[in-house]
Structure 1
Amino acid sequence: MASTEIESWVVDTCRELGLLVEGVGDDFFLAGGNSLTAVRLIAKVEERFGEDCLPPDDLFERSGVGQIAETILANRERSQVPD
């Protein structure tokens, strides 16, 4: 079950990409994701949240759907902080 808007978006987007995701406890790769699907997800994240919100290394290291949402949130907040 997704509890935040970003978690819901990640779950829905993974489903749109054809992954068998039921909720934030699922793993992107165990749900059928691969390197091509990862590139497609990263492109959708960049379109929705901005560049660098989901670096490829982060996706491969933290591939849980909930972890992906946390990474997007953390990087989005970091990019909004003025220098």
Structure 2
Amino acid sequence: MEAQEEIERWVLSVCEKIGLRAADVNADFFEAGGNSLAAMKIISQAEETFGEDALPPDDLFSRSTVREIAACILANSGRAPVTSES
């Protein structure tokens, strides 16, 4: 599986876990119910999974679809996610 797709799935999974209604990669984080608290949660999870500064707040606020978030994480971390428990 391509790293971008793997990270997109990870983003969708995190959105679901924090109660957002992101149905697909074109879903916008904020339109799906994301707020500043949810933003801090996904940023924290991204750093835990992909490393420090994997998802800077400025990136999340300016590129907020699931696909764009995944692309930012991929660009900023330079690696695929560690296997997570699901």
Same fold (TM over 0.5): yes
Question: Any residues of structure 2 matched to 1:21-32 within 5 Å, and which?
Answer: 21-32=22-33
The equivalent of 1:12 in structure 2 is: 13
Q: Distance in 1 between matches of 2:41 and 2:26?
A: 21
Indicate the structure whose relative CO is greater, using CA pairs within 8 Å and at least 6 residues apart.
2
Q: Which portions of structure 1, spanning 4 or more consecutive aligned residues, are displaced by more than 6 angstroms? A: none
What does the per-residue CA deviation read over 1:6-58, in whole Å, with 9 as the maximum and x for residues that have no partner?
11000011010100011100000000000010001100000000010100000
Q: Which 5+ residue runs of structure 2 have no aligned equivalent? A: 80-86
Q: Distance in 2 between matches of 1:68 and 1:14?
A: 11
Identical pairs, percent: 57
How much is the aligned-residue C-alpha RMSD, in angstroms?
A: 1.4
- Equivalenced residue count is 76
| Partner amino acid, structure 1, of 2:69 | I
Normalised by the length of structure 1, the TM-score is: 0.88
Q: Which one has a bigger Cα radius of gyration?
A: 1
Normalised by the length of structure 2, the TM-score is: 0.85
The answer on 1:59 being equivalent to 2:71 is: no
| Partner amino acid, structure 1, of 2:63 | R
| Partner amino acid, structure 2, of 1:70 | A
